Amino acid sequence: MKPRHWINLIVVSLAAGLLALFSVRWAMASYAEPTCRKFGAANGLTYVDYTLPDMNYQGHSPLASDGDCIYRRPDGTVRNVGLYTASGTFGAPLLTSFALRPDIVFGFSFIAVALVLALITRAVSPKKAA
């Protein structure tokens, strides 16, 4: 590969990684953590943290796992409740579920950034005479 292609690959990877990081953080801050806090307050639990879904898909459906809310009970023990359960009857909205999955977000971000970079480079590259 030409050095220009390596540079493009690095730029696309970094941009996709940053985009994935920001979208996951946004989904956590705007949906997951408030939902966990509401569920904890309604059930007499103290909200401690939110953990992203496990990327190991063995033994469960990856779409049913949106991560876990971690709570502390009044007696001091720790309890994990899935975000799907804490969200209520229908679970997290579909796009939010995807936004909480770093692997999926990075894949889509990589493709989107690569397409945008290809369009930009095609638009600004000099035209060859036929």
Q: In the chain, what percentage of residues exceed pLDDT 70? A: 88
In which domain, by residue range, is 47 found? 3-124
Answer whether residue 129 is part of any domain.
no
Answer whether residue 88 is part of any domain.
yes
Tens-digit pLDDT profile for residues 4-48:
888 989 999 999 999 999 999 999 999 999 999 999 999 999 999
Query: Look-up: residue for tokens 């909200």?
Result: 47
The residues facing 80 across adjacent strands are 70
User: Higher confidence at residue 30 or residue 125?
Assistant: 30
Answer whether residue 10 is part of any domain.
yes
Work out the end-to-end distance of the chain between its first and last CA atoms, rounded to an integer number of angstroms.
Answer: 26
Q: In the chain, what percentage of residues exceed pLDDT 90? A: 52
Answer whether residue 86 is part of any domain.
yes
Answer whether residue 16 is part of any domain.
yes
Q: Can you give the pTM of this predicted structure?
A: 0.76
Helical packing angle, 3-27 and 102-124, nearest 10°? 140
Answer whether residue 55 is part of any domain.
yes
Cβ count near 87 (within 10 Å): 21
Q: Say what the pLDDT of residue 58 is.
A: 58
Tens-digit pLDDT profile for residues 57-66:
555 555 456 7
Answer whether residue 69 is part of any domain.
yes
Answer whether residue 130 is part of any domain.
no
Tokens representing residue 100 in the block: 């909480």
Number of domains in the chain: 1
